[in-house]
Structure 1
């Protein structure tokens, strides 16, 4: 969960969904100024981490809309949890790479 939230776009998505309750992909993309493909990527990572869930609905016009909402969660932040999350992050470039 912490790794999924380590991205500022994903924090903004969770924040927007927390305020709005639920939203569909295009709506979120417009609101946050993120392309739809990038929004899909971030939502997939949040869903894989169990932080959001989606539900496909058909609008009155017959258009399929995939709505997302936040799943209630709580994270206990301890040194061991941070260490576990840090292992999932990409390695930092070494000084010689700078």
Structure 2
């Protein structure tokens, strides 16, 4: 559903609960038991899959660090990660 634009309504229940419509759950890639994140920016609110949100935040925090450490490509970073994992696992 990447790039798809649609709108859905949901009713707010007495305890503040809302059922997320099926097509919205599908677009978020979430299933029963998954977590979602509410991102509030001024008067706008985005709902995101929490795993996706965490990954985006991590990528933002790490931006530019690989270059500072001398890595010149994503392959070099991936190789370093694989070597590090092998060392950790003996």
TM-score scaled to structure 1, two decimals? 0.28
Select the structure that is richer in helix: 1
User: Which protein has greater RCO, CA pairs closer than 8 Å, 6+ apart?
Assistant: 1
TM-score scaled to structure 2, two decimals? 0.29
